Amino acid sequence: MKSEILKGIYKQLVLKLEELSRLGGVMGIMHWDQEVIMPKGAAENRSKQMAALAGVLHEKSIDLEFGRLINKLVDTGIENFTEIEQCNIYEAKREYELETKIPKELVQEIAELSSRGHQIWAKARKENKFEDFAPTLERLIFLKKKWAKFSFPNLEPYDANIDIFERGMRMSNLTPIFDQLKKELIPLIAAIKKSSINLETSFLEGDFSIDKQKALGKTISKDIGFDYNNGRMDSSVHPFCGGGHSTDVRITTRYRTENFIESLFGVIHETGHGLYEQGRMPGFLDLPVSESLTMGIHESQSLFWERMIAQNLYFCDYYLNLFVETFPEKLKGVSLNAFYSAINLSRPSFIRVEADEVTYPMHIILRYEIEKGLFDETISVRNLPEVWNDKMEEYLGIRPSSDSEGVLQDVHWSGGAFGYFPSYTLGAMYACQFYSKMLLDINDIPKMIATGNFSCIKKWLNENIHEKGRIFSTDDLVLKVTGEKLNPCFFIDYLKNKYGEIYNL
C-alpha cells in the first residue's frame, strides 16, 4: 500500500515536471523567434515577455507543493523506484533547491537584461562600439555574481556559472587541462605556420549561390540522419540549435556567397546538436532524465559530426562529386586530396566560429581566462578590448583591428552565458575519445563513411550517448563508453597526427 501511495506522489511530480518542460519549450521557441524572424521593433516587448514567462517558470519551480512532493519521495521511498524514476526525482530536487535560493526579482532582471542585451550587443557589434555594450556587460557580470551567491554559496562565483553548463566541472579541473593544451598546441600552430606546405584553397572562394548552399546543406543533414518531420533549418546571425521539444528541433546557419564551406560545416555542426535532441530517451521526452547531460557532451555530438566525420578524407571522397555538381565552375577538376587538405587548412583567424580545429582551442582558452579574470576582478570590463587583443597576439600571433572582430564577436555574454565557452573544447576532447572507441566497436568505419552509410554511426551515438540522458554523471558516461575518464591526449594526438601528415611536419 505504501508503495502505491508513493507511486501516486511520483505521478503528481511527473505532471508538474512535464508542465515545466513544456513552458520551457515555449521559452525556447520565443528565443528561436527572436534570433531568426522577429521584427526588430519587437525587441523591447519581447524582453518583457520573456521576463514574464521566466517569472512564471520560477514561481512554478519553487511552488511549496512541488517541494513537498520531492521531499516526501526522497525521504521515504526512493528505493521503490526504477533508475529512470530516481533520476527524475533527484534532478527535480536539485532544480528545486537551486530555484528556491534565487529571488524572483533577480531571475526576472537577468531574463530581461539578457533579452535586451542581445539587441544592444548586436548594434554595438555592427557599429564596432564596445563602449556601447560595456555597461550592459558590467551589469550582467554583477547579476551573475549575485546569482552565484544565492545558488552555490560554497563555490567561487565563476565555478557556479560553469556548473550550469558543465555540472561538477571546476576551474581546478579546467585550468590544468587548458594549460596542457596550450603547451602542446601553441608549438603545433607555430610549426604549421613555418611549414613549407602551401595548401591551395582558391577553389573554395568565389560566388556561391545561397540557394544552392541551402539545398546542399539540407541534403547532407538529411543523409546523416536529421529528421525534417521533427525539425527545420533557417538562417541566423549566429548559428545555433534550439526549439521547444525533440519533435520540434530548430537548427540555423549563416550564409556568405563568397564561401560555401562555412555554411555547410555550420549545418553539419548544428545537425549534430539536432541529432542529440531528436535521439533523446523515448517515452520520457518531457522529463529531466531524457535531457542532455552537459553542454560539453552536447558539443561533442556536433563536433563529432563536423570534425571526426565531415572533415574526414572518406567523407570528402563520398561527397566530392556532389560538391562538384553543385558548384562546377569552381570545383571541376579538383582532386580528392586537394579538397580534403583545403577544408583542413590551419591558420590563425580572428573569428572563433571560423577557426580551424587546431587554433580553435586557443580561442576558447582566451575566453576562459578572460571570464575567470572578470569574475575574480583581475580584469576590468573597461580594459577588456586591450586584454583580448593582447591574448590573441600571444596565443595566435594576430591582433584584431576592431572590436567587432575581437571582443564583440560572440553572442554569449549578451545573454549572461558566462562559463559556457569551456564546453566547446571539452566537447572536442570528448568527441575524439568517443570516435576512438567507435572505431574499435564498429568494423571498417572509414569504408562506411566513404559509401555514405551513416546510419550505424548515428545508431552508436543514439545508444551510447543520446538515449542515456542524465542517468550517469559526465565522468561516469565517458568512463562507461570509452573505458576511461576524459583524457586530453586523445585530442592532442589526433591533431598532431592529422596535421602532421597534412603539413609534412
Q: Are residues 102 and 242 in the same domain?
A: no
The number of folded domains in the chain is 2
C-beta neighbour count of 188 within 10 angstroms: 19
User: Is 270 among the catalytic positions?
Assistant: yes
Q: Are 144 and 96 in contact (CB under 8 A)?
A: no
Domain boundary, last residue among 105, 128, 151: 128
- What local confidence, expressed as pLDDT, does residue 410 receive? 93
pLDDT single digits (tens) 91-148: 999 999 988 898 889 988 998 898 899 889 999 999 999 999 999 999 999 999 999 9
- Inside any domain, residue 161: no
pLDDT single digits (tens) 208-227: 999 999 999 999 999 999 99
Sheet arrangement for strand 231-235: 231-235, 248-253, 241-245
Q: In whole angstroms, what is the distance from residue 172 CA to residue 458 CA?
A: 34
Positions in the chain whose pLDDT score sits under 50: 1
Q: Which long-range contacts (CB under 8 A, 24 or more apart) does 448-451 make?
A: 449/309, 449/312, 449/314, 449/315, 449/318, 450/314, 450/315, 450/317, 450/318, 451/318
Q: Are 327 and 212 in contact (CB under 8 A)?
A: yes
Q: Are residues 104 and 216 in the same domain?
A: no
- List, in sequence order, every residue forming a beta bridge with 91; answer none if it has no partner: none
Q: Are residues 86 and 234 in the same domain?
A: no
Angle at the Cα of 235 from the Cα atoms of 233 and 241, rounded to 5 degrees: 55
Domain span at residue 332 reads: 171-502
Q: Are residues 103 and 250 in the same domain?
A: no
Q: Are 215 and 209 in contact (CB under 8 A)?
A: no
Say whether 468 sits in a helix, a strand or coil. helix
Distances (CA, A) of 305 to 259, 421, 464: 20, 19, 15
- What local confidence, expressed as pLDDT, does residue 37 receive? 93
Mean residue pLDDT of the chain comes to 95
- Inside any domain, residue 488: yes
CATH classification at residue 221: 1.10.1370.30
- What local confidence, expressed as pLDDT, does residue 33 receive? 93
Q: Are residues 105 and 199 in the same domain?
A: no
Kind and range of the H or E element at 251?
Answer: strand 248-253
Q: Are residues 257 and 110 in the same domain?
A: no
- Inside any domain, residue 147: no
Catalytic-labelled residue, pool 270, 277, 299, 306: 270
- Cα torsion through 272, 460, 292, 314, rounded to 10: -20
- What local confidence, expressed as pLDDT, does residue 2 receive? 58
- What local confidence, expressed as pLDDT, does residue 75 receive? 87
Specify the pTM: 0.92
- What local confidence, expressed as pLDDT, does residue 1 receive? 45
C-beta neighbour count of 474 within 10 angstroms: 20
Question: Based on the number of CB atoms within 10 Å of its own CB, is 382 exposed (0-12), middle (13-18) or buried (19 or more)?
Answer: exposed
